[in-house]
Structure 1
């Protein structure tokens, strides 16, 4: 019966089709005639079949089911992809040194020992750690013996490993800056650590207030170039952070995310040089080369090396061996230094052009922050940040307001834009500047 019903429903038995008599169908199926007669009777009652004396049992005529009128197309809010982006945090991806990287990869692959393609040491390839030790000492003033370096998959990976170790040491809180990246704070909170915020002023984070933060066993700082506010940490504040760590057994986590890019003077050396036994230095190739490489490094106090190595070994999350060997060759050959020098000039021109455009088109607006890194801060009149960000969106420009980077515990105290001038390719740079200036009050 179910098969007959389905055949009529799907149209395999067309309306008017005469069905076999109950006697012949029962014989074909090998069932009692009454079984077929009962099934026919039920399908007649349901309207699938008709039965008339002299004309047998047929498929009932039926009209096509009424199809509902097609619904009008749903109107969805249109989210246009911005024509230009001045979001901070990315380098100029079009400037990645493809030819130099390919040449380094060929040399590295040719020279790689067979064992390099195994899982290897959780600390990372010794070739890269050795080259990094020399480079960081020379370029950033970091004390970085190879056995104290851990290669990781970028800053966030390094922070995750450090947070895991701190939590295992029963640290309850890591002090952070009032303005920064929320996903960095999230890494710490997921490890069970609180993130009390230290206040900021024109001299940088007020590290002298660390002693007043209950339960703090570490502090996370962007000392060379505060993100996103843009100032360098004052020497007295640097010393205060290290003095606090020495006096309490605490740890300073130094995020040196763009320390190689200073334009008005020689880069300030890393905070780690003041006390390598109390500072965890975290660096990355994400700003100097490309974030897609997933390549970073940690330089650790001696007492933490074993704990971080164990944490990293358990997670088994490491950068590609070939990429490590390629980066080692790229640095050792001098190509990395040449690329950084070239990009330093490129980004300095970008920043100068940004300042000049804002000064000309919006003379009442200031561009602040030291001449460094890949972003600048545009101060806005009080209460205008949201309207300027919305005006920029109408101009096809993606840009962030300062409030996006404010710690949840900090009251709103300034209106500004955080402008990433490294992101646009050369072909879009002029258009991005024009869109920005049109949006300014």
Structure 2
């Protein structure tokens, strides 16, 4: 994001929610607006019904101004990097079963093309039967590309050990023992 902002600092808007990195129950969202847009926002939005209590907002503001938010983000980023590494290591160890892994740097999920004659729905069903949540991607694609199904695997809520176990369970469920 920093590189985009450096190209046009008065044209970039950041929007996000802290619930993904702090507490899911925290419903605080934020927008960082360029000055020109901020003045336009203030002129058009005279009354904004804020669903988050002032106490929560002020507590979070204090958390940020004291540097705790930055420290927390550094810690979370490290955990996410470890999880991502565990996921791609597990995929790599079973690379004979996978054709392609898309979106390596997009967070805690990846599109995985599976070298299988099974359909997407069969892969999802087998995953579920073995305790692993697998998401289909066909409804998001205009046209199916390639001869193998692509599924979405998420690993954000898992430990590194659970990630390795999940990939192991999937490969055992999806493929005959070699």
TM-score above 0.5: yes
Equivalent runs, 1:364-403 vs 2, <5 Å: 364-365=97-98, 366-381=100-115, 384-403=119-138
- State the TM-score, normalizing by the size of structure 1: 0.34
Q: Which residue of 1 aligns with 2:13?
A: 280
1:312-339 alpha-carbon deviations (Å, 9 max, x no partner) = 5545134221222222222222222222
Q: Flag the structure with larger Rg.
A: 1
- Given the alignment of the two structures, is residue 296 of structure 1 paired with residue 35 of structure 2, yes or no? no
CA distance in 2, matches of 1:332, 1:301: 20
Q: Which residue of 1 aligns with 2:143?
A: 411
- Kept after mapping to 1: 8 A contact 2:12/2:33: yes
Q: Gaps (5+ residues) in structure 2?
A: none
CA distance in 2, matches of 1:285, 1:361: 35
* Higher RCO (CA-CA < 8 Å; seq separation 6+): 1
Q: Which residue of 2 aligns with 1:434?
A: 168
CA 1:367 to 1:298, structure 2 compared with 1: closer, same or farther past 3 Å? same
CA 1:362 to 1:295, structure 2 compared with 1: closer, same or farther past 3 Å? same
CA 1:363 to 1:423, structure 2 compared with 1: closer, same or farther past 3 Å? same
Report the aligned-residue RMSD.
3.0
1:214-240 alpha-carbon deviations (Å, 9 max, x no partner) = xxxxxxxxxxxxxxxxxxxxxxxxxxx
CA distance in 2, matches of 1:339, 1:279: 25
CA 1:290 to 1:403, structure 2 compared with 1: closer, same or farther past 3 Å? farther
- Given the alignment of the two structures, is residue 342 of structure 1 paired with residue 72 of structure 2, yes or no? no
- Kept after mapping to 2: 8 A contact 1:392/1:399: yes
Q: Gaps (5+ residues) in structure 1?
A: 1-139, 142-268
- Partner of 1:279, secondary structure, is coil
Q: Which residue of 2 aligns with 1:51?
A: none
- Kept after mapping to 2: 8 A contact 1:280/1:300: yes
- Kept after mapping to 2: 8 A contact 1:362/1:437: no
CA distance in 1, matches of 2:20, 2:81: 14
The CA deviation at 1:379 is: 1.8
- Given the alignment of the two structures, is residue 422 of structure 1 paired with residue 163 of structure 2, yes or no? no
- Kept after mapping to 2: 8 A contact 1:377/1:417: yes
